[in-house]
Amino acid sequence: MGIKATKEALMMANEDGLDLVEVAPQADPPVCRIMNYGKYKYEQEQKAKKARKHQTLTVVKEIKFRPKIGKHDYETKKKHVERFLNHGDKVKVTMMFRGREMTHTDLGRKILIQLAEELQTLGTMESRPKQDGRNMIMVLAPTAKSPK
C-alpha cells in the first residue's frame, strides 16, 4: 500500500467511524482491513473464553490393592474404581507387593486383569499391568462417553 493509498484508507475508515487494522504485515504488500477493532478484540476474547470453558481436565485417581485381598475388600475397591470411571476420571490401579509376595507377582497380575475384565463396559485398559519395583501398575481410562 502506498502512502497515498494509506491516507485514503484512513480517511475512509474515519468517515465510517471504524479503524484501519493491519491484518497481515508479513505479506507484500501488507494487508489492511477497515473494521471496528474494539468489537474484533471482544470477539477474540469470547472465543478464547469459550475454548477454555470446553477444554477437559483429565484427573487420574489412584487405588491400591494387595495380592492377598479378601473378596469383600476387592468388591469395595472395585466399586470405588467404578465410581471414578463413571465420573470420567482415569484410574491408576496399583498392586503393592511386600516381602515374599514379590515371588508371586503372577497373582497380582491375575487380580488386575480380572478387575479390568469386570469393568470393561465402563473403562478400557490404557496400559497393561507392568512391574515397577515393588508395585505393579495398570491404568484404566473411561470409555468415550460424556462425564456426569
DSSP class of residue 25 equals T
Length of the chain: 148
Q: Are residues 82 and 112 in the same domain?
A: yes
Identity of residue 134: R
Q: Spell out where 6-122 has E strands.
A: 19-24, 31-35, 60-65, 90-96
Q: Is the pLDDT of residue 18 over 70?
A: yes
Residues 118 and 87 in one domain: yes
What would the pLDDT profile of 26-74 be if each residue is shown by its tens digit? 888 888 889 998 998 999 999 999 888 887 777 899 999 999 999 999 9
What number is the average pLDDT over the span 120-143?
Answer: 91
CA–CA separation, 93 and 81 (whole Å): 9
Q: Which residues pair with 62 in a beta bridge?
A: 92
Same domain, 47 and 67: no
Q: Is residue 147 part of a domain?
A: no
Number of domains the chain is built from: 2
Amino acid type, 50? K
Q: Is residue 131 part of a domain?
A: yes
Same domain, residue pair 22 and 70: no
Percentage helix, strand, coil for the chain under 3-state DSSP, each rounded to 5 = 45, 30, 25
Residue 12 lies in a domain: yes
Domain assignment present for residue 148? The answer is no
pTM given for the model: 0.60
Residue 85: domain span:
60-142
